[in-house]
Structure 1
């Protein structure tokens, strides 16, 4: 078998010689492996080596694209230090200034041997009484105060979504979703054997009549919705639309999984969850990865009282329980005001980044909310999502192509999502300025 580095060298030669052009998409790893008669793991290492050398950017399964080749005869000796760092606007994990310093004091007591011994024990899906009380207080707002005994915990919000859907929908079942939905939900649905059904939406969100029509075609087992700061469009449903949807789902007895992971940014007035209007059917998902930090996460599930046992069983069977250490840390961070301080800092940070976005992409069709950490850019007429993504990659900038969010593959928008949270502000400004120049003057690849 060829050593993966030899194969990477050959591709590097193709890139530096110009046989592979900047912006050109490489085959998906599985296709590359098949063509070269190598193992999938070897193909993964080849692509990883090219990323390390700074010759390609992107994500496997979504697209790996050739970058403009740095100087050098073969590209074999390139290192990360020799090429500019890529700017990744696909990742979207907010980090407040001084975040580590804010978090560290609370963790210190957990490292005492007597406390650590207890914190390293397995945690049940129901967590601990202290965790339930802390989570209930954290999510409470003027119109919604969830009872602590309705809380369950997963390792992160993605796992919480998977557990909710697994408990509600059998393989082959149908779940109504926004026409643009969270890509992870598409992956979860595929693993669980669930069919996603796109709902017709307007400027208020999914239309109630679309829910009823989809249910008439074949019964829906559940809905998955993001009513607050929808990812990727940043849309927030009006209270009237939520009431209308609640009437429909109640009349048809359709459970709802309400994803509120970004709702903490909805300042100054917390947005009322859909759960207020349909409390007996709505399963609320939230968590700490965006509020606090992605590396030590906890996912929250607030479920109707009669659903606690079933969803807890799904958490256990999926191996999705939260770690006890993370639960203990979450209790302390919520109780001593750490979470509140981080939320305030991230709201201010998101607002600053939205101002940068507005300045650099002025004149383009960009849908966003001044409070959000992301934006939906409807590209100029000459651009397709795939060709623009490739052109961005050629400049060392990764963006998420719009089709990644689409449920109905026959309707692929010429748009990209921009994640604003994970790069330094100067890099964000520079990247957006570059993307604006590309959009104005680039070719479309049609």
Structure 2
């Protein structure tokens, strides 16, 4: 049971208890989702009245440290943002160097603005301002088919291409249209938090399948299919989030055989395909009858466009489209027109070249300055996966970084079931648009990594 070890007798007792709780969260003694003792039990154990503990818990809750779960007790808030009376997080929001959310903040807006002006003055595209076929306009779907052909797809049936409002919309349509509440989908132990949350919302159970430095182990997936009723598998073969693992073609073929034999639906999330220096083969291209392939541009080009190209197997098209109709009806034809024109004019490749150059430069700077620590990164990756020194706990480091004005993401957010949660953080490389601030942020992280949690907490 948690007990406050250090009490500051110079301040109100309830605040001293809340401070002790906050300190233990920072140092990793208390971790996300740890259950705290009931208020009455804690009051009796440490010899204070119940009102004092109640006020202490209320104070900790206001600081964003804990949460009360109705009928279940009080817990350390998952990935809670720490609060400090002298360093308000709210005051930091505008000055934060964001290494958390993956976003193409470095993307050149000039080609986008040029295309928007072209679309605005084009009289032949009046159809984009009206309701259209929910799958998207035929010409936009043809452009999508042409784009996807570089990832190993051959002779694509345009009727199996559906445009959605970004990858998350595609994920929700897949789960709502092709699966039932209670179904089980296999995934990597660490994966995209958006998919984890979408599965929870849809009542889908996720099963973590062991992986290695090439991704999911085919034998482990096959074994799980023999013992469990698995209906699908969610994978990011060409740039796994958060580890940046990339599968070899051999691993893809092995997994394709398991998926085909078990008659699973593959949900392939290839949102980082745009940053690949060379075209890579999609796993879905090996499984045209068993896959839903999602190619989005939000994380790698312009988030505001909110367009994803989805290649759906013939047997699943109607169910997927039905889910789309009952969520957003259709993706924005205006946004699809802008993206199509950028692809057809080759402007999209010019943007890609500049983004790749920025990734390379920032990776080089980060690798050089964080060379004392274990890094996992692919040359096209928009993020780094950094294993922390033993003295740091990931949640505590996330909060400590936030205190010095930097947002990073601790490993627990990516964990499917919390059983596989390495002591690591993800560092996004492309969200901060200013190189000077990016360099400043990396150097601050470097300094923080070389400090001990107790020293950092004492200073703060």
Please tell me the TM-score bracket, short chain as reference: 0.7 to 0.9
What whole-Å deviation, never above 9, does each CA across 1:132-190 have from its counterpart, x for those lacking one? 11111222217334332211011111111121222221000000000101000111001
Aligned to 2:220: 210
1:62 lines up with 2:79 in the alignment: yes
Alpha-carbon distance in 1 for matches of 2:22, 2:262: 54
Alpha-carbon distance in 1 for matches of 2:20, 2:283: 54
Alpha-carbon distance in 1 for matches of 2:133, 2:221: 35
1:183 lines up with 2:200 in the alignment: no
| Deviates further, 419-428 or 218-227 | 419-428
Pairs within 5 Å for 1:21-420: 62-66=79-83, 69=86, 85-96=95-106, 99-112=108-121, 118-141=127-150, 143-145=152-154, 146-267=156-277, 269-319=278-328, 321-420=330-429
Q: Which runs of 4+ in 1 moved over 6 A?
A: 18-25
Alpha-carbon distance in 1 for matches of 2:175, 2:263: 16
User: Shift of residue 114 of structure 1?
Assistant: 5.2
> What is the aligned residue count?
398
Which runs of no fewer than 5 residues in structure 1 stay unpaired? 1-13, 37-42, 48-59
User: Shift of residue 376 of structure 1?
Assistant: 0.8
Aligned to 1:9: none
Q: Give the direction of change, closer, same or farther, for the CA distance of 1:356–1:298 in structure 2 (3 Å limit).
A: same
Q: Give the direction of change, closer, same or farther, for the CA distance of 1:286–1:84 in structure 2 (3 Å limit).
A: closer
Alpha-carbon distance in 2 for matches of 1:94, 1:159: 19
Alpha-carbon distance in 1 for matches of 2:125, 2:78: 40
Q: Whose radius of gyration is greater, 1 or 2?
A: 2
Alpha-carbon distance in 1 for matches of 2:408, 2:454: 16
- Cα contact 1:67–1:393 (8 A) shared by 2: no
Aligned to 1:3: none
Aligned to 1:433: 443
- Cα contact 2:167–2:296 (8 A) shared by 1: yes
Structure 2-normalised TM-score? 0.79
Alpha-carbon RMSD: 3.1
What whole-Å deviation, never above 9, does each CA across 1:223-254 have from its counterpart, x for those lacking one? 00000111111110010000000111111111
- Cα contact 2:79–2:395 (8 A) shared by 1: no
User: Shift of residue 208 of structure 1?
Assistant: 0.9
What whole-Å deviation, never above 9, does each CA across 1:179-232 have from its counterpart, x for those lacking one? 101000111001100000001101221011111122222211110000011111
Q: Give the direction of change, closer, same or farther, for the CA distance of 1:255–1:440 in structure 2 (3 Å limit).
A: same
Structure 1-normalised TM-score? 0.81
- Cα contact 1:177–1:198 (8 A) shared by 2: yes
What whole-Å deviation, never above 9, does each CA across 1:34-70 have from its counterpart, x for those lacking one? x78xxxxxx99x98xxxxxxxxxxxx96321235836
**Aligned to 2:305, what secondary structure does the other structure show?**
coil
Which runs of no fewer than 5 residues in structure 2 stay unpaired? 1-14, 27-31, 37-53, 56-60, 65-76
